[in-house]
Amino acid sequence: CQSLASKPCLQTIHREINFSVIGQYVDYLVEVQGVKNIFVNGTTGEGLSLSISERCQVAEEWVTKGRNKLDQIVIHVGALSLKESQELAQHAAKIGADGIAVIAPFFLKPWNKDNLINFLKEVAAAAPALPFYYYHIPALTGVKIRAEELLDGIQDKIPTFQGLKFSDTDLLDFGQCVDQNHQRQFAFLFGVDEQLLSALVMGATGAVGSTYNYLGRKTNQMLEAFERKDFSSALNHQFCIQRFINFVVKLGFGVSQTKAIMTLVSGIPMGPPRLPLQKASREFTDNAKAKLKSLDVLSFTDLKDGNLEAC
């Protein structure tokens, strides 16, 4: 059975972390969106814009507030420095996280599979009791090593390797990851929300995405339709999600805009992003609100104008 994981936004006040709303955020994801798995300190969570101390604090707060409410809490511990990544991995194990994930270092890059695996192996070894996931996002890291190539024999080098968060549009690469590893119990977690149905057909075992913060319920309906082999309904749900994503992409869509939409829909103040990102414009938020209402994918009965001001 496929499941969703949200990449929660970073909550800030004057660009300092607002820890006080994380408990409310957990309840919102579980009770309103039906999302019970989270991926902390990833792209949407601005993890790489935080200090190591801040990343540890955020991770600990999510684990504490999510205890007995969330099913899986995976902490992204990737960093440019191997030492920092190992420190974050050890901390994730100490606080009781359910797994760790790592992106490829993206300044001084590994240029071949062996170099990348050597880096990942050292991070995984710092938390030997935790499942380890590779976070494949070549558009942001610039590391173009194909995931299919990386997975070949990876458990021989990293015994705790559990799976892959695949955030790329290359469905050939993703399909071959699944096809060539079907005898292994790997988790294939797809990270391109607007293409999820295609990935499910290819064998994705779950999904991790930013839109599940506010479109989790709609995406769960797609998963349920897919599970019961109602492919026509599943496709209709995917097309509905695509209409919204296509609309906001044309307006300019990224982390800042995700935070604005999440504030709008949930009523939880996400605050501004960390520099160099700038907060979303009021025009963007107004347009996104109108589009969501026209698609009828959300209930706006609790939406107040104050939510817009909080953006």
Q: For the segment 94-131, what is each residue's pLDDT rounded down to a tens digit?
A: 999 999 999 999 999 999 999 999 999 999 999 999 99
Give residue-wise pLDDT tens across range 125-184.
Answer: 999 999 999 999 999 999 999 999 999 999 999 999 999 999 999 999 999 999 999 889
- Measured between its terminal Cα atoms, the distance across the chain in Å is 36
Query: Is there a contact between 145 and 166 (Cβ–Cβ < 8 Å)?
Result: no
**pLDDT higher at 182 or 41:** 41
In the predicted structure, residue 297 carries a pLDDT above the cut 80: no
Q: What pLDDT does residue 182 have?
A: 87
Give residue-wise pLDDT tens across range 205-262.
Answer: 999 999 999 999 999 999 999 999 999 999 999 999 999 999 999 999 999 999 999 9
Sign of CA pseudo-dihedral 274, 275, 281, 284 = negative
Backbone phi and psi for residue 152, each to the nearest 5 degrees, phi listed first:
-65, 105
Q: Is there a catalytic annotation at residue 135? A: yes
| AA letter at 257 | Q
> With bands split at pLDDT 50, 70 and 90, how would you rate the model's confidence at 31?
very high
**In angstroms, what CA-CA distances link 14 with 17, 115, 117, 278, 310?**
8, 40, 39, 12, 12
Which 3 state secondary structure label does DSSP give 72?
strand
Q: Which residue has the tokens 């996002």?
A: 137
| AA letter at 233 | S
In the predicted structure, residue 305 carries a pLDDT above the cut 90: no
Q: Which helix (H) or strand (E) holds 190?
A: strand 187-190
Which 3 state secondary structure label does DSSP give 74?
strand
Cα distance between residue 145 and residue 133, in whole Å? 16
Q: What pLDDT does residue 3 have?
A: 82
| The overall pTM is greater than 0.75 | yes
Query: Is there a contact between 152 and 123 (Cβ–Cβ < 8 Å)?
Result: no
Tokens of 284: 């963007």
Cα distance between residue 196 and residue 169, in whole Å? 10
Q: What pLDDT does residue 301 have?
A: 45
> With bands split at pLDDT 50, 70 and 90, how would you rate the model's confidence at 48?
very high
What DSSP state is assigned to residue 168? S
Which residues make beta-bridge pairs with 97? Answer: none
Which 3 state secondary structure label does DSSP give 251?
helix
The overall average pLDDT reported for the chain is: 93
Q: Which residue has the tokens 């026209």?
A: 294
Q: What pLDDT does residue 304 have?
A: 45
In the predicted structure, residue 302 carries a pLDDT above the cut 60: no
Q: What pLDDT does residue 130 have?
A: 98
Instruction: For residue 44, say whether it is annotated as part of any ligand binding site.
Output: yes
Cα distance between residue 310 and residue 172, in whole Å? 42
Give me the catalytic one of 165, 218, 259, 289.
165
Sign of CA pseudo-dihedral 246, 248, 252, 258 = negative
Backbone phi and psi for residue 175, each to the nearest 5 degrees, phi listed first:
-60, -40
Give me the catalytic one of 25, 28, 133, 135.
135
Query: Is there a contact between 125 and 102 (Cβ–Cβ < 8 Å)?
Result: no
Q: Is there a catalytic annotation at residue 250? A: no
Tokens of 219: 């995406």
Cα distance between residue 126 and residue 97, in whole Å? 14
Q: What is the mean pLDDT of residues 261-268?
A: 95
Tokens of 177: 């990851």
Q: What is the mean pLDDT of residues 15-28?
A: 94
Q: What pLDDT does residue 311 have?
A: 31
Q: What pLDDT does residue 308 have?
A: 40
